[in-house]
Chain A
Amino acid sequence: MNRQFVLLALGLILTIPVFQSPIFSEQFRPLQGLHVVKSLPLNMVAGSTYGWEVSFKNPKSEEGLMNVTLEVTEKKTVVGFGEFHVEGTLESYDNPPREHHTLPLTFMETSGGTFQSQALISERFNIIKLEISSVPNLMPGEYTFTLTITIQYKSGQQTQFKETS
Chain B
Amino acid sequence: MQRKKMLIVGLAIALLIGVVSAATISYFGQVKMTATVKQAVLLDGKDVTEMPTIEETETVAGGEFFLRSHWLQSQTSVPVDLKFETYIPGDSAGITVSYLKSTGYKTTVTTSGTYPINVTVEDIGDWIQWTFNFFACNTTPVTGGGHFAGAVIISFDGVKPAFQIYDNDGTCAAFPWGTWLYSPYDLTGGGWHGWHTSEAAWNTPVANIWWIQAEGARDFSDNPGGKFIVKIHKTMLDATFYWAVYANQYGFYNPNNGDSCYPSNFQWGSETFVQATILEEITSPFTLYPGEVLPFYIKYKFAVNIQPGTYTIYSTVKPAS
Residues of A within 8 A of B (CB): 3, 6, 9-10, 13-14, 16-17, 20-22, 25-26, 29-32, 34, 36, 39-49, 59, 133-145, 155-165
Contact = CB atoms under 8 A, between A and B. Distances in A.
Interface stretch (B23-31, B88-96, B148-156, B183-191): B23-31
A145 B27 contact: no
A138 to B, nearest CB: 6
Size category, B interface: 35 or more
B35 A44 contact: yes
A36 to B, nearest CB: 7
A29 B29 CA distance: 9
Contact of B29 (A141, A156, A157, A161): A161
Given A14-B14, A25-B26, A160-B25, A40 B78 contact: no
A59 B27 contact: yes
Given A10-B14, A41-B35, 17 more contacts: A6-B11, A9-B11, A10-B10, A13-B11, A20-B22, A22-B28, A25-B27, A29-B26, A44-B35, A48-B40, A133-B78, A138-B39, A142-B34, A143-B37, A145-B33, A157-B23, A158-B23
B25 A25 contact: yes
B47 A140 contact: yes
Contacts of B36: 42-44, 140-143
Contact of A136 (B17, B32, B49, B78): B78
Given A16-B21, A156-B23, A143 B35 contact: yes
19 contacts: A13-B15, A17-B17, A17-B21, A20-B21, A31-B28, A32-B27, A39-B33, A43-B36, A133-B78, A135-B319, A137-B40, A138-B40, A140-B48, A157-B22, A158-B23, A160-B25, A163-B29, A163-B30, A165-B32
A163 B30 CA distance: 5
Interface of B: 7, 10-11, 14-15, 17-18, 20-41, 47-49, 75-78, 80, 318-319
Nearest to A76: B49
Given A10-B10, A138-B37, A59 B18 contact: no
B26 A157 contact: yes
Contacts of A20: 21-22, 24, 26
A6 B27 contact: no
Contact of B14 (A3, A13, A44, A47): A13
A14 B11 CA distance: 10
Given A16-B21, A141-B37, A34 B29 contact: yes
Contacts of A159: 25-27
Most buried by A among B22, B23, B31: B31
B14 A22 contact: no
A40 B35 contact: yes
Given A14-B14, A40-B33, A136-B41, A45 B75 contact: yes
B18 A139 contact: no
B13 to A, nearest CB: 9
Given A13-B15, A13-B18, A136-B80, A43 B27 contact: no
A140 to B, nearest CB: 4
Contacts of B18: 13-14, 16-17
Contacts of B318: 137
A47 B21 contact: no
Contact of A29 (B15, B27, B41, B78): B27
Contacts of A36: 31
Nearest to B14: A13
Nearest to A148: B30
Contact of A165 (B22, B33, B47, B76): B33
A9 B18 CA distance: 12
B47 A48 contact: no
Nearest to A24: B26
B21 A48 contact: no
Contacts of A49: 77-78
A46 B38 contact: yes
B153 to A, nearest CB: 46
Nearest to B75: A45
Given A45-B76, A47-B76, A158 B40 contact: no
B33 A47 contact: no
B115 to A, nearest CB: 56
A164 B22 contact: no
Contacts of B33: 39-40, 42, 144-145, 164-165
